[in-house]
Amino acid sequence: MQVPLVDLRAAFEPIEEQVFGEWRKALEGMQLFQGPNLQAFEREFADYVGAAHGLAVSNGTDALFAALRSCGVGPGDEVIAPSHTFFATLEAIVHCGATPVLADVEADTLTLDPGAVAELVGPRTRAIVPVHLYGQAADMDPLLAIAREGGLKVVEDAAQAHGARYKGRPCGSLGDAASFSFYFTKNLGGVGEGGFVSTNDAAVAEAANLLRHHGHASKFEHTIIGHNLRMDELHAVVLRAKLARLDEANARRRAAAARYDALFEGAPVRVPVRREHNEHVYHCYAVRVEDRDGLVAHLNANGVGTGIHYKTPGHLQPAMQTVSHRAGKLDATERACREICSLPMFPELRDEQIEYVAEQVLAFVKG
């Protein structure tokens, strides 16, 4: 049996006819700059994540950059973020001219450790970036408390957390601002690149809007040196169609994860840990085993797609040796990066596929 890590074709098929029809309408009307679909999607997704303001942008990295900049992060500042994250989290901080301060993650959930953050706050700290990793919210209440005490901004990296909740509250509305990615493998993924900034602060929204459109305040006036971070109208069509199905798709991910959990019970496989008060959306189903590289080779040889999220932590990336940064102890991060392996996870995953994947994993770890 062949089981891919993700199945993009299966995700697109149910909306194919709708998308092609809406694309035809959009191209007939040629309202392609901040068109009606993009404006509607901004309202719909902001409402979905419980935010007062939402701005569609070019990709997830640009979204985090715009959110940080709009919260006042700039040269001379320090921003605390986990080392166990996709490298774009750290790139966005550097692009603001700020210094990344790399913190460890919790040993079980692998989200940002509030205790590690507290130890790294210094006189130059301006913001904290919790990453809602693999579809699970970071432990936000203690992080928000640290931020309030120090007068810091909290900018959520919610690139993997579309629809996830923390104590009943949706990710994307918990801090001062949040960033999302609509890269095509995400829970809410398009057919290319895309991103989103959400916030409940009107001043942050206004700053992000200026930043994404060349600082354009009126037809002939540019009030800041901005960027071109805009999303296109055709991409918004796809995202609107998928947003209507997102809750159902996330429920199917949770069901697949529960099936995996049951099949691995009692085996030497560490399944993802879900914090009790979180609503996990399982962007990835990342297990941990001692011989991760051996497991990956075995699964690939038997037709099972795998991923490693992430093999090299941020503080050990060659690029980080070229920029100013500092870090705390990162023991949990380094151990996770040696053990982590993502198994196939997508809403259309069938029971027989899950059972085959589990059978292959168990054959390896027991053998």
- String of DSSP letters for 50-94: T-SEEEEES-HHHHHHHHHHHTT--TT-EEEEESSS-THHHHHHH
Q: What is the pLDDT of residue 200?
A: 98
Beta bridge partners of 364: none
Q: What is the pLDDT of residue 51?
A: 98
| Same-domain check for residues 237 and 326 | no
CA-based Rg of the chain, rounded to a whole angstrom? 20
Judged against a pLDDT cut of 90, whether residue 147 lies above it is answered with: yes
| CATH code for the domain of 225 | 3.40.640.10
Give the C-alpha distances (Å, rounded to integers) separating 342 from 288, 336, 362.
Answer: 9, 12, 15
Average pLDDT over residues 154-165: 98
| Same-domain check for residues 192 and 252 | no
Average pLDDT over residues 353-367: 96
Identify the band that residue 318 occupies on the pLDDT scale cut at 50, 70 and 90.
very high
Query: Does the residue 2 lie in any domain?
Result: no
| Same-domain check for residues 223 and 262 | no
| CATH code for the domain of 358 | 3.90.1150.10
| Same-domain check for residues 286 and 153 | no
Query: Does the residue 3 lie in any domain?
Result: no
| Same-domain check for residues 213 and 296 | no
Residues 75, 312: Cα–Cα separation, whole Å = 27
Judged against a pLDDT cut of 90, whether residue 31 lies above it is answered with: no
Type of residue found at 196:
F
Query: Does the residue 340 lie in any domain?
Result: yes
| Same-domain check for residues 78 and 165 | yes
Tokens representing 363 are 């054959």
- Among residues 193, 216, 243, which one ends one of the domains? 243
Give the C-alpha distances (Å, rounded to integers) separating 300 from 5, 32, 121, 354.
Answer: 10, 43, 43, 15
| Same-domain check for residues 235 and 276 | no
Dihedral class, residue 97 (left if φ above 0, else alpha if ψ from -120 to 50, else beta): left
Dihedral class, residue 102 (left if φ above 0, else alpha if ψ from -120 to 50, else beta): beta
| pLDDT tens figures, 217-241 | 888 999 999 999 999 999 999 999 9
Query: Does the residue 216 lie in any domain?
Result: yes
Compute the Cα dihedral for 276, 282, 284, 290 and give only its sign. Answer: positive
In a 3-state reduction of DSSP, which class is residue 233? helix
Query: Does the residue 207 lie in any domain?
Result: yes
| Same-domain check for residues 216 and 311 | no
Average pLDDT over residues 64-71: 98
SS (H, E, C) 236-291: HHHHHHHHCCHHHHHHHHHHHHHHHHHHHCCCCCECCCCCCCEECCCCCEEEECCC
Average pLDDT over residues 80-107: 98
Which DSSP letter does residue 199 get? E
Average pLDDT over residues 201-226: 94
Type of residue found at 354:
I
Q: What is the pLDDT of residue 218?
A: 86
How many domains are contained in the chain?
2
Tokens representing 206 are 């206004």
Tokens representing 128 are 């904290």
Query: Does the residue 95 lie in any domain?
Result: yes
State phi, psi for 89 to the nearest 5 degrees.
-55, -45
| Same-domain check for residues 239 and 253 | no
- Among residues 243, 261, 282, which one ends one of the domains? 243
Domain of 61, in residue numbers:
8-243
Residues 222, 239: Cα–Cα separation, whole Å = 30
Tokens representing 306 are 């795998």
Q: What is the pLDDT of residue 219?
A: 84
| Same-domain check for residues 158 and 271 | no
- Among residues 181, 211, 243, which one ends one of the domains? 243
Judged against a pLDDT cut of 90, whether residue 96 lies above it is answered with: yes
Query: Does the residue 1 lie in any domain?
Result: no
- Whether the Cβ atoms of residue 117 and residue 140 lie closer than 8 Å to each other: no
Tokens representing 166 are 């923390």
Q: What is the pLDDT of residue 367?
A: 84
| Same-domain check for residues 130 and 234 | yes
Query: Does the residue 35 lie in any domain?
Result: yes
Q: What is the pLDDT of residue 269?
A: 97
| Same-domain check for residues 88 and 184 | yes
Type of residue found at 71:
C
pTM for the predicted model, two decimal places: 0.96
Percent of the chain at pLDDT above 70? 100
Angle between helices 246-264 and 351-366 (to 10 degrees): 30
